[in-house]
Structure 1
Amino acid sequence: MALLQLIDTVPVPFRSAPISQEEGAALFRATLALFSRWGVTDEQAAVLTDMPVRTYRRWKAEGPGRMSRDGMARLSNLMGIHKALRIIFQEPQRGYDWVKASNAAFEGDSALQVMLGGELTDIMRVRRYLDAERGGW
């Protein structure tokens, strides 16, 4: 007979903990792999990460330097987009291709074109759209 364990169901108060530099470095490495799958150029990647192309290329070759809170928010949202696409599409390649496909939801622009607006809110717009499509928040 299996024994049941009591589970503490009292909600823990929310505490906003910033992403550590080590976690940010891991996000950056994951984002590099994602950019490769999406077929993003270094120039486009620099816009998405909001850094000069030279800095992006140096970080790509040597590892990231100290990241700002905004930079880590960008990387986090890009990973959220990747996660949503993996949930929506059974075949990963369809999700990778979706990023560059024309989309009526973005007035015919692709998600990548929207994100290349350069603002964090442009990336967040794509993420919110995908989260709504997959039934998340």
Structure 2
Amino acid sequence: MRRRLSAPAVALFLKTADLLDLKVEDRMALLGGISRQTYHNWKTGRTASLTRDQLERISLVLGILKGLRLVFAEDQQGQRWLKAANTDAGFAGRAPLEVMTDGGVTGLYRVRRYLDAWRGVK
């Protein structure tokens, strides 16, 4: 099952990362700290079977994009929010993207839950 999902998941992640205008370093961190060579291989279509952790991370990033699109009228507003310092609880003055890249899966869940709560989803 993971093998079948891997290539489409990577393709969706890359499109999402492009849309969010993420740096390569941020992309590698979001995918669990993969190497530059692995990222390059995935970007050129040479995707091995992703781990459960990697699929979960991609799912969370896709959910964050969905949340941004439901909260903000334009993608650029969501990009700015993602990269701007945030003093709300859970961010401590850090940008949501920084929480996502430095906090592992927990950081991804934190941003996802924050956006869900902002939308009124429990």
Query: Which residue of the partner structure matches residue 10 of structure 1?
Result: none
Query: Which residue of the partner structure matches residue 79 of structure 1?
Result: 62
Instruction: Give the TM-score normalised by structure 2.
Output: 0.88
Stretches of 4+ aligned residues off by more than 2 angstroms:
19-25
For 1:42 and 1:125, locate their aligned partners in 2 and report how far apart those are by CA, in whole Å.
22
Unaligned stretches of 5+ residues in structure 1? 1-18
Q: Is the CA contact 1:100–1:111 (under 8 Å) kept in the aligned structure 2?
A: yes
Unaligned stretches of 5+ residues in structure 2? none
Q: Which has the larger radius of gyration?
A: 1
Q: Is the CA contact 2:2–2:52 (under 8 Å) kept in the aligned structure 1?
A: no
Q: Percent identity?
A: 35
- Post-superposition Cα deviations, 1:8-41, rounded to whole Å, max 9, x if no partner, equal xxxxxxxxxxx64333322221111111122212
Q: Does structure 1 residue 92 correspond to structure 2 residue 84? A: no
- Residue 116 of structure 1 aligns to a residue whose secondary structure is helix
For 1:80 and 1:30, locate their aligned partners in 2 and report how far apart those are by CA, in whole Å.
12
Number of equivalenced pairs: 119
Instruction: Give the TM-score normalised by structure 1.
Output: 0.79
CA deviation after TM superposition for structure 1 residue 64, in Å: 2.0
Q: Is the CA contact 1:48–1:118 (under 8 Å) kept in the aligned structure 2?
A: no
Query: Which residue of the partner structure matches residue 104 of structure 2?
Result: 119
CA deviation after TM superposition for structure 1 residue 99, in Å: 1.1
